[in-house]
Amino acid sequence: MREIPQRELRNNVSQVLRDVAAGESLLVTVRGRPVAELTPVREDPGPQRFVAREDVLRAFRAIALDDRARQDYAGDIARAIDDEAQDPWP
């Protein structure tokens, strides 16, 4: 990671931003002390379509339910989540 002083950032902001947009990460310093990192923005991968079985089970277990509701949902969860679950959206 290339270091640049705050003065270079101030005086050459357009070039610095072009460098970052091209994929370079920069460490900005003030009097030689690191104060900020400039990194390119990663493209948003979009919504996650597949959620791991363990994550789903953890989320369901975290829900505060009374005993009756827990019994009702236990069957639904068992039917909906199995080891063969696959992402239905390619």
Contact 3, 35 (CB under 8 A): no
Residue 19's pLDDT is 95
> pTM for the whole thing?
0.48
The residue ranges of the chain whose pLDDT is under 50 are none
Task: Report how far residue 36's alpha carbon sits from residue 3's, in angstroms, rounded to the nearest whole number.
Answer: 10
How far CA 60 is from CA of 17, 34, 80, in Å, comes to 44, 43, 12
Domains parsed from the chain with CATH numbers: 2-38 (3.40.1620.10), 44-90 (no CATH)
The secondary structure of residue 33, as a DSSP letter, is E
Residues 23-48: tens digit of each pLDDT = 999 999 999 999 999 999 887 767 76
